[in-house]
Amino acid sequence: MLTPAGFDKNHLRALSNPSLVLARSEFGQEPLYYYYDQKTLIYGHTIPDIIQKLETHPVLDHDEVLKLMAQRRTYTDKTIYQHIYSVEPGTIVYLTAQGELKKHRYWQLDPNADDLVLKSDQAYFNRFDELMQESLHHNTQGCEHDIAGELSGGLDSSSILTAAQSLGLHYPLFMHVAPENPRFDQVDDSHLAKQVLSYFGLSDVSFVDAKNFDFFAELEFAARVFAGPASCILPVMAQNVGRAVAQSGKRILLSGAGGDECVSSHAPESAYLAGQFRERGARAVWQAFFKEQASSLLSFTTLKKAEQLFKAMHPAIFHVLSRSESTAKLSYMLCRQGFKGLPPKTTFSKKRYYTSIRAFEWDRLQGSTSCFLRGRIEHHGILANATGFEYRYPLLYPKLVEFCFHLPARFKRRDGVARYMVREYLKAHGLPEDVYSKQQKVGGIAPGTLENVFELMQDSGFLARFENLPWADKVVKTTSHNKLIGYIPAYMLHYYQTVLQR
């Protein structure tokens, strides 16, 4: 288990002589929960750890359950049980000598921070290279023989492997096998992974399919170790690889999860353009645009770029045009339905306006939309521990994240292409152009297990199995996919409560 990289004794000195301290790492790789009702304090790595120590089973927090079923959760330290909380990543929860429970966030990013300034572009690239190697060293030191790694062929997993090769680290790799199905052609990067393997001359690779993946058995296993549902289902769907790693005898799996949020920065064009308006002013931005597009002002591509630029000028413009896009989408759906109406509870998510790439990344890392990353990391940790191994995330190494978070925007997007820094990193290390030049974000996280579920959904009675469960009436039912996403936590909660009654 890794200790919090940014936590030291100075944080304890600032806490007014605490009698008990619970500290969680910057991104919460090791889950930590506690029960507190003003009289009793119990803590553990999982909710079942805490429940075992309680005299009576905790009461459900119906508001949190409803948010989970309706897919409306934002990140919070609350769980679905009253008085049981999660210690937030980068946070200390401590009990004062007077018996008062308090929180202190020891690691916090600032979305309004200034850009990092170095002497030259090359200095930024050199520092990124140094931090990638430092992260791999930090995550593998003393346990080199226990390490395995994921490889998808995407930019994140390829950059981790590149850093490892630079350090002379060699470990077995595990790859998801995408099914031979046309619908997975757009989420399969295995052809790129094979180019990476060929470039480094690696052959110690396990290709993991989903032939033995039992959807309901994995949901029930997860429900027992989570004490109910999960806020993120992806860890469950990746259990085929997790079990393969555990069976191989390896204790630690290096994953590229979290790279999109900052280090490789899959930030949208709108956030980049909004930042340009703030830094340079509207007049300078538009003048540069017309100069660049002078030879093709009336082309469809140029008009689309102008629309994106216009949207980024101001939040009010952004929201009006985004709402118009939603209205157009609604009209299209109505036409396809033959104007028979849409399913009940049809909703269109409200797009957020970000003033800069840094604001976007902060929201994904520590803001209201960080629930996806934090939920994924938290539940990956619980499932991995229960299965017999541990996840580690080199692209969430705090010093590397801090460096990338403060990079000027030109290292995030350039010439309309995102993830500029990591592309240049792979290019500098000589990887095949196909690997670092790919522009679409594809790569199925768990393509094989997803195909298993899609096959189950072909049975007309599959979704009917969920419809009479408690809480099922609270699920958003726009599409079959949305139904299933909502039904899964309902199933897991019902299963766990049924287990308790046995």
Check whether residue 96 and residue 137 sit in a common domain: no
Q: Choose among 148, 158, 169: nearest CA to 245.
A: 148
Judge whether 309 lies within some domain: no
Same domain, 32 and 134: no
Query: Burial of 167 by CB count in 10 Å (0-12 exposed, 13-18 middle, 19+ buried)?
Result: middle
Indicate the burial class of 211 (C-beta count within 10 angstroms; 0-12, 13-18, 19 or more): exposed
Whether residue 160 is contained in a domain is answered as yes
Nearest to 139 by CA among 281, 25, 273: 25
Q: Answer yes or no: do 257 and 132 share one domain.
A: yes
Q: Which of 442, 458, 474 is the last residue of a domain?
A: 458
pLDDT in tens, 220-263: 999 999 999 988 888 999 999 999 999 999 999 999 999 999 99
Residue 72 maps to which CATH number? 3.60.20.10
Q: Does residue 264 sit in helix, strand or coil?
A: coil
Residue 430 φ/ψ, nearest 5 degrees: 80, 15
CATH number at residue 415: 3.40.50.620
Alpha-carbon 249 to chain mean position: 26
- The closest alpha carbon to 190, from 201, 179, 200, belongs to 179
347 φ, ψ (degrees, to nearest 5): -135, 155
Both 371 and 416 in one domain: the answer is yes
Domain limit, last residue, from 72, 105, 138: 105
Asked whether the beta carbons of 218 and 236 are under 8 A apart, the reply is yes
CA 492 from centre of chain:
21
pLDDT of the residue at 247 = 96
Question: Same domain, yes or no, for 72 and 173?
Answer: no
What Rg value do the Cα atoms of the chain yield, rounded?
24
> What is the distance, to the nearest Å, from the Cα of residue 447 to the centroid of all Cα atoms in its chain?
17
Query: What does the pLDDT profile of the chain (502 residues) look like in tens digits?
Result: 444 555 555 555 555 566 788 999 999 999 999 999 988 899 999 999 999 999 999 999 999 998 888 776 678 899 999 999 999 999 999 988 788 899 999 999 999 999 999 999 999 999 999 999 999 999 999 999 999 999 988 999 999 999 999 999 999 999 987 766 555 555 567 889 999 999 999 999 999 988 889 999 999 999 999 999 988 888 999 999 999 999 999 999 999 999 999 999 888 888 888 888 888 888 888 887 787 777 777 787 777 777 777 777 767 776 666 665 555 554 555 465 454 444 444 444 556 778 899 999 999 999 988 989 999 999 999 999 999 999 999 999 999 999 999 999 999 998 878 999 999 999 999 999 999 998 765 555 677 888 888 888 888 788 888 888 888 887 766 667 777 888 899 999 999 998 776 6
Contact present, 368 and 231 (Cβ < 8 Å): no
CB 175 within 8 A of CB 196: no
Could you tell me which residues are beta bridge partners of residue 93? Answer: 22, 103
* C-alpha–C-alpha distance, residues 6 and 399, integer Å: 9
Q: Which of left, alpha, beta for 168 (phi over 0: left; psi -120 to 50: alpha)?
A: left
Amino acid 19 reads S
Residue from 408, 402, 385 nearest 26 by CA: 402
Is the CB of residue 251 less than 8 Å from the CB of residue 143?
Answer: yes
Q: Are residues 128 and 99 in the same domain?
A: no
The H or E element containing residue 388 is: none
Is there a domain that residue 174 lies in? yes
User: Is there a single domain that holds both residue 64 and residue 203?
Assistant: no
Q: Alpha-carbon distance 398 to 93, whole Å? A: 20
Which of 308, 300, 302 is CA-nearest to residue 273? Answer: 308
Q: Is residue 464 part of a domain?
A: no
> By CB neighbour count within 10 A (0-12 exposed, 13-18 middle, 19+ buried), where does 338 fall?
exposed
- The DSSP output letter for 60 is B
Q: Strand, coil or helix: what is 188?
A: coil
**Tens digits of per-residue pLDDT, 40-82?**
899 999 999 999 999 999 999 999 998 888 776 678 899 999 9
Residue 277 is assigned to a structural domain of this protein: no
- Which neighbouring-strand residues pair with 59? none
Say yes or no: 74 and 32 in one domain: yes
Q: Which three-class secondary structure state does DSSP give residue 254?
A: strand
What is the C-alpha to C-alpha distance for residues 81 and 61, in angstroms, rounded to an integer?
A: 5
Position 271 in a domain = no
Residue ranges in 116-228 assigned as alpha helix (H): 121-140, 155-166, 190-200, 215-226
pLDDT 10s digits, 275-329: 888 888 888 888 877 877 777 777 877 777 777 777 777 677 766 666 655 555 5
The residue whose two tokens read 């046309």 is 182
> Are residues 16 and 82 both part of a single domain?
yes
Task: Check if the beta carbon of residue 1 is closer than 8 Å to that of residue 30.
Answer: yes
Instruction: DSSP for 69-83, please give it.
Output: HTT-----SB-SBTT
Distance CA 92, CA 15 (A): 9
**Are residue 241 and residue 388 in the same domain, yes or no?**
yes
94 and 384 Cβ atoms separated by less than 8 Å: no
Query: What gap in Å lies between CA 386 and CA 408, rounded to an integer?
Result: 41
- Do 147 and 38 belong to one domain? no
Residue 111 lies in a domain: no
The number of distinct structural domains making up the chain is: 2
Least Cα distance to 54 among 41, 63, 66, 45 occurs for: 41
Whether residues 260 and 364 share a domain: the answer is yes
Domain assignment of residue 191, yes or no: yes
35: containing domain: 9-105
Q: How many CB atoms lie within 10 A of CB 500?
A: 10
Residue the block writes with tokens 């240049």: 424
